[in-house]
Structure formats: structure tokens, C-alpha cells
């Protein structure tokens, strides 16, 4: 499997630190409002990366934070006359709803910056002890960029060019030693949330959060660190400087970044009136279409969002789903096992799975992977007929479903409805059991069985299957 690594500017073979395991950190949103569709792109893309690793049998430890202390959160809280905590809690909940609607699975851990302050203070102390950071008289702590010899290695910037750009920013009398130095800890202002620290009552800078949360949940060195390309500089560059200076170990082996999202070929901005939250999009489109649309492009390319392109994604997805529905219908009336001829047909279909996998293993080229699904659809439409055996129909359907699952897009909407119905019945049955109304519990089980659904009581809870 090859991954384009921003650090080396080339595709590299993926070699995990521990066999069969992937540790992955994806920078999450600052929670002061509903997420916009630009935020949705890395969520969808890296969720798909995770799904593919899991499909290949890897055990993925996927960590993605919520930045819940920040100037924007405080500003919003002041505007509404509520606490910063109330704002961040509200928008974490709303973001989780959007993620669910986008089929972005919850991370293994979603750490909150405000819950990790102790770790941040510890790392800052280590950086001061090692000579990579210094406090000034008002209690601000800065990272001394020039002390970290490899600064600029991710963004491929020359530190002296950066210095030139910053020359005029340094104000007279500032105790900051170098204009490039960035904040690790800053003193509180009136009305702001703050924490005690050895330097002053204050709060952490943004960059230190991710270094600390990544270390705590994944260790000093991780396999993949990911985010939008706007984070390469300074955020990820600063994360590398902090983590590598403090831990004395390489921070991440692979750095993945997704490209920008434009609206009608223009940068999305509130002032241009082309700013869309995921909620705005949800009013007009099925979010599965948005997900499918985003994955129809290569993640490193800029992605242009427009009504026309969404319409074409919608009709593309419909084409796939129509093929899926057709197979489900054929399955109802078909019977029998694979014939010899069908064995060959199945092998022919498996070629598209190989194509899909080859695309994904070439730096997660979801655009080509989607093309492979279209080819499989065409193949199924041509070769699976009302003469086909039940086994063939089922196997081809399963192939399509497996590939769509990797993309996080449902092959049929029917399956969803059915699952929702069954889950509701399971919940009713659980309640009946709790109430010791075993007659009702049995009645619900029998009713589902009559509908062709068998319930299985397993250690992980109640599962169901079609019979
Ligand atoms: Zn980050």
C-alpha cells in the first residue's frame, strides 16, 4: 500500500510501526459553530482511509480531537452571553450528529483539549527544561523555533525566508526572542476560561493540544497524522517541533493532507456568500450523495462543489443503487447454486474488486476506486439475469456491498429502513424482558421471525439476520 507523504513529497510504501496495527491522528474541528462542508472533507476522507485499513484486516486506533478552547469559542460565548463550555458542548453534540449523518464513524477516542491541560503543562515544562521553550514576564511561554533544527521540514519552507516575512511583526519591547517563536501557553484575559499553571493563570496555545493528545492516546511515534492542507503550516509544522523536541522521537511516519474545497471554483467564504454548513447541504441533498461526491475526486486535488457536480454525483449513486435493488429483486425469485459457467462470471467480477483495491492502495485513489464500482455495476447489469442462480446473485450483491461499505455509502436505502425497523423491535423486546414480560418478548421475536428476521442473542448484544 502506498501513501503520499507530505514530509517526503512522494508516495511511500506503508510500513506500520506494529504489524497489523495502524495508529492514526486526525486534527478535528474547533467547536464554535456547525461544521462547514470544508470540515466534512477530511472527516469523510480519513474515515474512508480507516475503513480501508480495517477491510485489509488492520486494527486501527483512530484518534480525533475536538478543540474546545479557542478565541472563536470565547467570542461566540460572549455574543450569546453564555459560557464557553456551553458553546463547545453544544457544538460537539451537533458535530457528532453531522458526522453520523455523513457516516463518519466515531473515532476510537475523541479527546477534548480542556480535559488534557495537565498533559500540556507537562509537555511545556519538558520543552522548557530541554531549552526548547521559555517563559516571559507576563507568563506567556514561547517555543523557540530556531532551537529545533528541522523546523520547516514538513512544509518545505526555509526558516530564513519565514523570518523575512515576519520581520515587521515583532513589536518593540516584546520579550519574544524571535518573531518565528509561537505560543505554547498564554495568560488569561478578563472573562476567559483559564487554568492554573507554573507560569500564569491562562490557557494553552492551539498547537500544543494535538502534540499532547496524540502522545497520550497513541504514543510518541504514530503511523499517520492527517488533516486538511491548510494545517500543514504552521499547525502541523509546530506540532512536529513540539513533539519531536519534547519526546526525542519522530512524531509521525506518514503525513496525509487533503486538498481545499472550493465552491463554484471560488474559495468558500462568508463574505462571498458561498459558505455552506453540512446542515445547509442536508436541506437540499441526501448527505450520502455529498459523501459519494467527495470520494469521487482524489483527496489531494482541490475539490469543486457545485450544484451540477452534485447532480451528477446523485445520478451516479442512483445508478449503483438501482443495480443493487435489481440484484435484491432477482435474489427473491432466484434459487440454486453456482453453475460452472457462473464460476467464471464470478471470477470476472472479482477483477473489479482487484481494480478497486489497486486504486485504494495507490494513495487511496477513491476516484479510480469509484470507477471500479461503476464497472462492476455494468458487469452485473449485463451478466446477472433472471436466469442466474441465487448464489451468483447473492455473491455479486455482496461484492458491491463490500466495496460501498469501504466508501461508507449504503448500496441500498432499503437495508437502512429494514435495520431501523429491526432495531426498534429489538429495543421493545429488551424492554419487555427488563419488565419481565416474557410473553411479549417471545411474541416480538416470533413476529420478526414471521417477517424473515431471526434474532441472535450474542455476548456483544442482540444481532439479527435474514432467514
Ligand atoms: Zn492538530
Find the 258 Cα to ligand 1 centroid distance in Å: 14
Find the 198 Cα to ligand 1 centroid distance in Å: 24
Find the 269 Cα to ligand 1 centroid distance in Å: 22
DSSP 112: B
End-to-end CA distance of the chain: give it in Å, rounded. Answer: 38
Answer whether 107's CB lies under 8 Å from 64's CB.
Answer: yes
Find the 132 Cα to ligand 1 centroid distance in Å: 20
Helices (H) and strands (E) counted in the chain, each on its own, are 15, 15
Find the 210 Cα to ligand 1 centroid distance in Å: 5
Q: What is the mean pLDDT of the chain?
A: 94
- Model pTM above 0.75: yes
DSSP letters for 299-362: TTS-EEE-HHHHHHHHHHHHHHHHHHHHHHHHHHH--SPPPHHHHHHHHHHHHHHHHHHHHHHB
The mean-pLDDT minimum among 84-88, 168-172, 312-316, 387-391 falls in 168-172
Find the 285 Cα to ligand 1 centroid distance in Å: 30
Task: Tell me: pLDDT of 166 over 90.
Answer: no
Find the 364 Cα to ligand 1 centroid distance in Å: 22
Find the 227 Cα to ligand 1 centroid distance in Å: 8
Chain CA centroid to CA 248, Å: 28
| CATH code for residues 2-258 | 3.40.50.620
What is the residue extent of each domain of the chain?
2-258, 307-412, 415-466
Q: Torsion angle of alpha carbons 395, 398, 404, 410, nearest 10°?
A: 130
Find the 28 Cα to ligand 1 centroid distance in Å: 7
Find the 326 Cα to ligand 1 centroid distance in Å: 45
Judging by DSSP bridges, how do beta strands 453-458 and 461-466 pair with one another?
antiparallel
Find the 459 Cα to ligand 1 centroid distance in Å: 37
Give the largest Cα separation in the chain, rounded: 85
Find the 207 Cα to ligand 1 centroid distance in Å: 6
Q: Write the pLDDT tens digit of every residue in 53-112.
A: 999 999 999 999 999 999 999 999 999 999 999 999 999 999 999 999 999 999 999 999
DSSP letters for 120-133: HHHHHHHHHHTTSE
Find the 68 Cα to ligand 1 centroid distance in Å: 12
Find the 218 Cα to ligand 1 centroid distance in Å: 14
DSSP letters for 373-392: HHHHHHHHHHH--TTS-HHH
pLDDT tier at 238, thresholds 50, 70, 90: very high
pLDDT tier at 46, thresholds 50, 70, 90: very high
Q: What is the side-by-side strand order in the sheet with 261-263? A: 266-267, 261-263, 303-305
Find the 20 Cα to ligand 1 centroid distance in Å: 25
| CATH code for residues 307-412 | 1.20.120.640
Find the 235 Cα to ligand 1 centroid distance in Å: 6
Give the pLDDT confidence score for residue 414 in this predicted structure. Answer: 62
Task: Tell me: pLDDT of 165 over 60.
Answer: no
Find the 215 Cα to ligand 1 centroid distance in Å: 12
Find the 382 Cα to ligand 1 centroid distance in Å: 48
Find the 283 Cα to ligand 1 centroid distance in Å: 30
Q: Write the pLDDT tens digit of every residue in 135-153.
A: 999 999 999 999 999 999 9
Cα separations in angstroms, 96 against 100, 226, 280: 6, 19, 16
Amino acid at each position: 500500500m502506498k501513501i503520499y507523504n507530505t514530509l517526503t513529497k512522494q508516495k511511500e510504501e506503508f510500513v506500520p510501526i506494529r504489524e497489523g496495527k495502524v495508529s492514526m491522528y486526525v486534527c478535528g474541528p474547533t467547536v464554535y459553530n456547525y461544521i462547514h462542508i470544508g470540515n466534512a472533507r477530511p472527516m469523510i476522507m480519513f474515515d474512508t482511509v480507516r475503513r480501508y485499513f480495517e477491510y485489509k484486516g488492520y486494527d486501527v486506533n483512530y484518534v480525533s480531537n475536538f478543540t474546545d478552547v479557542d478565541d472563536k469559542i470565547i467570542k461566540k460565548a460572549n455574543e450569546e452571553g453564555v459560557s464557553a463550555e456551553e458553546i463547545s458542548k453544544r457544538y460537539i453534540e451537533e458535530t457528532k450528529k453531522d458526522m453520523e449523518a455523513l457516516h463518519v464513524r466515531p473515532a476510537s477516542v475523541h479527546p477534548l483539549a480542556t480535559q488534557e491541560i495537565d498533559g500540556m503543562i507537562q509537555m511545556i515544562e519538558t520543552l522548557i527544561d530541554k531549552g526548547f521553550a521559555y517563559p516571559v514576564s507576563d507568563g506567556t511561554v514561547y517555543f523557540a523555533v530556531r532551537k529545533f533544527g528541522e523546523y520547516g521540514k514538513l512544509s518545505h519552507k526555509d526558516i530564513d525566508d519565514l523570518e523575512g516575512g515576519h520581520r515587521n511583526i515583532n513589536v518593540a519591547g516584546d520579550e519574544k526572542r524571535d518573531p518565528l517563536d509561537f505560543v505554547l501557553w498564554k495568560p488569561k484575559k478578563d472573562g476567559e476560561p483559564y487554568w492554573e499553571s507554573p507560569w500564569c493563570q491562562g490557557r494553552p496555545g492551539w498547537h500544543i493540544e494535538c502534540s499532547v493528545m496524540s502522545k497520550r492516546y497513541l504514543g510518541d511515534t504514530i503511523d499517520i497524522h492527517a488533516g486538511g492542507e491548510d494545517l500543514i503550516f504552521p499547525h502541523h509544522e509546530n506540532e512536529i517541533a513540539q513533539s519531536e523536541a519534547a519526546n526525542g522521537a519522530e512524531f509521525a511516519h506518514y503525513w496525509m493532507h487533503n486538498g481545499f474545497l472550493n465552491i463554484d471554483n471560488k474559495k468558500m467564504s462568508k463574505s462571498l456568500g458561498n459558505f455552506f454548513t453540512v446542515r445547509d447541504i442536508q436541506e437540499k441533498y441526501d448527505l450520502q450523495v455529498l459523501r459519494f461526491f467527495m470520494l469521487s475526486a482524489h483527496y489531494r486535488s482541490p475539490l469543486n462543489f457545485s450544484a451540477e457536480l452534485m447532480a451528477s454525483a446523485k445520478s451516479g449513486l442512483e445508478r449503483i443503487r438501482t443495480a443493487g435493488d435489481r440484484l435484491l429483486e432477482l435474489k427473491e425469485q432466484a434459487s440454486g447454486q453456482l453453475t460452472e459457467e457462473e464460476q467464471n462470471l464470478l471470477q470476472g467480477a472479482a477483477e473489479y474488486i482487484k481494480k478497486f483495491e489497486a486504486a485504494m492502495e495507490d494513495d487511496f485513489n477513491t476516484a479510480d476506486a469509484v470507477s471500479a464500482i461503476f464497472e462492476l455495476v455494468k458487469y452485473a447489469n449485463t451478466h446477472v439475469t433472471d436466469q442466474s442462480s441465487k448464489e451468483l446473485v447473492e455473491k455479486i450483491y455482496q461484492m458491491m456491498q463490500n466495496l460501498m461499505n469501504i466508501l461508507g455509502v449504503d448500496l441500498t436505502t432499503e437495508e437502512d429502513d429494514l435495520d431501523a425497523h429491526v432495531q426498534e423491535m429489538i429495543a421493545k423486546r429488551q424492554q419487555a424482558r427488563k419488565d419481565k414480560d416474557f410473553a411479549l418478548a417471545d411474541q416480538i421475536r416470533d413476529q420478526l421471525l414471521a417477517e424473515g428476521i431471526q434474532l441472535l442473542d450474542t455476548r456483544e448484544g442482540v444481532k439479527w439476520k435474514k432467514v
